[in-house]
Amino acid sequence: MNAKMTVTEEDFKKKKVFSLFLSYYRPNIGLFLIDMICAFLIAGIDLAFPMISRQALQTYLPDKDYRTFFFVVGALLLAFVLRAGMQFVVSYWGHLMGANIEMQMRRDLFLHLQKQSFSFYDSSRTGSLMSRILSDLFDITELSHHGPEDIFISVVTLVGSFAALLFINAQLTIAMAIFLPLLILFTLTLRKKMSHAAMKLKETTASINSDLESSIAGVRVSKAFANEDHEANRFFRGTKNYRNARGRFYYVMSTFFSGMEFMISLLNLLAIALGGYLIMKDRMTVIDLVAFTLYISAFLSPIRKLTNFTELFQSGMAGFKRFVDLMRYEPDILNRPNAVTLDSVHGDITFRHVSFSYNQKDSSDKILSDINLIIPAGKTVAVVGPSGSGKTTLCHLIPRFYEVNEGEICIDGKDIRDIEIHSLRRNIGIVQQDVFLFPTTIMENIRYGDLSATDEEVIEAAKKAQLDTFVRALPDQYDTYVGERGLLLSGGQKQRVAIARVFLKNPPILILDEATSALDTQTEHEIQHALELLSTGRTSVVIAHRLSTIRSADKIVYLSENGIEEEGSHKELLQRSGPYSELYQIQFADDPAEGTTVSF
């Protein structure tokens, strides 16, 4: 995979959550510095305004120094024009920096998910993963922009305004400062509750996304069984849980904000009351009280900003922690340090004492146990047997979709674990029973076999798959949209697209996983010719349900839960009167027409 992550996987292993968050600022350091400089200057202008106003009211107007007064007014006007420009920079470029960070996090997560094995996706719900990529990182833009900016401006404003308050009237400032510990204590008390509520909200969001994804994907099944009401009730329960989680978050948040606003109002009232008392005692002027109240507003503004930031921080960091948890999930299939590239593949495949269990931690329940099998280069080997015997699993081990528990699988004498994964899979083509097509055109779905292929090469692959005649009859021909998962095409048409895709890839090793078992006899008869052409000259592993389709295979392997029970040619296995012969007789007893199917 050529794309590089913004933050390395090694960093995710070693660094703490907050340190990882800061790491995403490194590629955006230019925008970050511009944002902070402009924020500092904005805070400076806001802090200077009350003091300059106090000086103008106390000195220039009483002394009738009108020229200086209007000069100061003009300077303030220019300062506010500059402030507006810097506010634009902070608002636009700062948010753009946040969007960049969010994009980089999503990109890193997607790249990380691409490295996960089949076992990871077997145990993960699609909706939950989508929630991690989309919803969980939704607040990161605001947090990554406003977080450092709000903290920086708040500290500058708090220190500056507090110094100005001391300069105007130290007694009143000290009296006000006694009240501040209550604000800090109140904030710390509710911070933990908000963090817990935010995390629960993220988890509930992931759950409802998963339910929604499965309901939409399974809508045809629910309609077929007339279970629309059941699905609706299930979704409504999920939305109710989501509403309750959001309600708990809003309750804690509302308690926090209403309490903060009450304390801030008391602080304002205290300033007016004590200031009025000092004026009565001739220890403070009205102008000083006006300036003092302006600085009180400046002093309270960052407190309000920090309270708003608290909500944003809890929500954003809750999503970021879930992002980090997933980024720390290590893929169980990786390249070995000295993995080699697989070039000039001959195609010999060897299984040596291979055992496998889907539960890597507990291998007692093995799907495959002590499998020994030789598949010569250029030959076709068919794997048959009852459902659940591990036929598909056996084939999925060859491209390392899963990792063997014991033993080894070799291609041309090389252990596949010593081969670079991308190189290994590039040399293996797979046609499955359940064909997945992307919601784009027929042309682009075939081109997925070789993204660098020309239109002419795509069309040639379609001809080999006996797809060209059908496509030419369509109004948009190769630009025809296939629908979600290819639903606008029939099963046979989707199979032809899948076969054309592998023709274009042109791999030396081919895996056919019950590629025609879901098709009617006529369609299967037509597709068999394309599969025969596709397998010519390649090492082919065929999983078959209909035994008549693999009678001409070079070797047939009968696989059961006990392992490989017998192997040989079709004729040899019939003569042995073993499990293959029994299965063959049962199939033809149930469906005599099977015997007329074209041999593979």
* Contact of 381 with 554, CB cutoff 8 Å: yes
**Mean pLDDT score, 313-319:** 79
| 3-class secondary structure, 265 | helix
Pairing mode of beta strands 349-356, 368-375: antiparallel
Classify residue 170 by its DSSP letter.
H
- What string of DSSP letters covers 579-595? HHHHHHHHHHHH-GGGG
Give yes or no: residues 100 and 221 share one domain. yes
In the numeric block, the tokens 């003092």 are attached to: 292
Q: Which residue has the higher pLDDT, 509 or 238?
A: 509
Q: Range with the lowest mean pLDDT among 124-128, 195-199, 212-216?
A: 212-216
Return the beta strands (E) in 318-362 as ranges. Answer: 349-356
Residue 530 lies in a domain: no
As given in the structure block, the two tokens for residue 70 are 């209007």
pLDDT in tens, 98-157: 888 888 888 888 888 888 877 777 777 776 777 777 777 777 777 877 778 778 777 887
Which pLDDT belongs to residue 435? 77
Asked which of 506, 533, 549 is the last residue of a domain, the reply is: 506
Which pLDDT belongs to residue 594? 47
Asked which of 270, 301, 327 is the last residue of a domain, the reply is: 327
As given in the structure block, the two tokens for residue 578 are 């073993």
pTM above 0.85, yes or no: no
Asked which of 479, 506, 533 is the last residue of a domain, the reply is: 506
H-assigned helices in 218-285:
219-224, 228-280
Confidence of residue 410 (pLDDT cuts 50, 70, 90): very high
Which pLDDT belongs to residue 548? 72
What CATH number did the domain enclosing 112 receive? 1.20.1560.10
Residue 363 lies in a domain: no
pLDDT in tens, 428-483: 888 887 777 887 888 888 888 888 888 888 888 888 888 888 888 888 888 888 77
| 3-class secondary structure, 406 | strand
Distance between CA atoms of residues 592 and 547, nearest Å: 12
Residue 528 lies in a domain: no
Residue 173 lies in a domain: yes
Residue 93 lies in a domain: yes
Residue 126 lies in a domain: yes
pLDDT in tens, 3-41: 677 888 788 888 888 888 888 888 888 888 888 888 888
Q: Give the number of domains in the chain.
A: 2
Give me the residues paired with residue 509 across strands.
428, 539
The identity of residue 505, as a single letter, is K
Residue 165 lies in a domain: yes
Structural domain that includes position 460 = 432-506
Which pLDDT belongs to residue 1? 46
Q: Is the pLDDT of residue 353 over 80?
A: yes
Residue 187 lies in a domain: yes
What CATH number did the domain enclosing 499 receive? 3.40.50.300
pLDDT in tens, 249-268: 778 777 777 777 777 777 77
160: CB partners within 8 A, 6+ apart: 43, 44, 47, 298
**344's torsion region: left (phi>0), alpha (psi -120 to 50) or beta?**
left
Q: Is the pLDDT of residue 311 over 60?
A: yes
* Contact of 357 with 363, CB cutoff 8 Å: yes
Distance between CA atoms of residues 314 and 193, nearest Å: 10
Which pLDDT belongs to residue 213? 64
**Mean pLDDT score, 366-378:** 86
Q: Which residue has the higher pLDDT, 111 or 225?
A: 111
In the numeric block, the tokens 């107007």 are attached to: 61
